[in-house]
Every structure is written in structure tokens, then in C-alpha cells.
Structure 1
């Protein structure tokens, strides 16, 4: 975690369930370089990440 303040964040990856391939959250990158998952429901253990640009 960076000592800089988090001011803005943008989603850089979709978090998908490995078993069902459904969207379960987004991975955000903050202005200070920190990464943080934002879950749509509860955190999942078996996930895969897909770049947002690949989903378009």
C-alpha cells in the first residue's frame, strides 16, 4: 500500500468466476498505483482476471 492518498481509481480488469465465467467484480487501479478488487457480492477464491479492453 502506497503512502500517497487515493484520489481516483479506474477499473482495469474484470474479475470472473473460474467455474461459471460470470462477472463477480472489477479490479481497480488507484492514482497512487494501489490495486483493489471491488466485488459485486462477496469475495470469491477461484477467479480469473480479464483486461477490460479484451471484453469490448
Structure 2
């Protein structure tokens, strides 16, 4: 199990993703865009919209 966690936190994929996230964050800071606050609801607690609402007749 530790090996699986290491892949997510220290592996090549993590390093590549972290580098891209840092570039985005640096750009956000350069353009004085505020950081979004963390959502009070976890992603899995947010109810999806009904598909019927998006339909156009």
C-alpha cells in the first residue's frame, strides 16, 4: 500500500502535475487573480443537476 501512495505523492506523474500546477499558480499571482477558497462541500457531496434542466426543446 505504501508503494501505491508513493506513486501518487513522489512519482513522475506527481512531479509533472505539480510542475504544471506551479506554473498556473505563478501566472495567477502575476495577474493578481485571488485564490479560490476551498469549497465547504466535498465534490462527492455536491448534487448533480438534473439532465432535464439542460435540455432545449
Q: Which has the higher strand share?
A: 1
Select the structure with the greater relative contact order (CA < 8 A; seq sep ≥ 6): 1
Instruction: Tell me whether the two structures share a fold, i.e. TM-score over 0.5.
Output: no
> The TM-score by the shorter chain falls in which range?
under 0.3
TM-score (structure 2 length as normaliser): 0.22
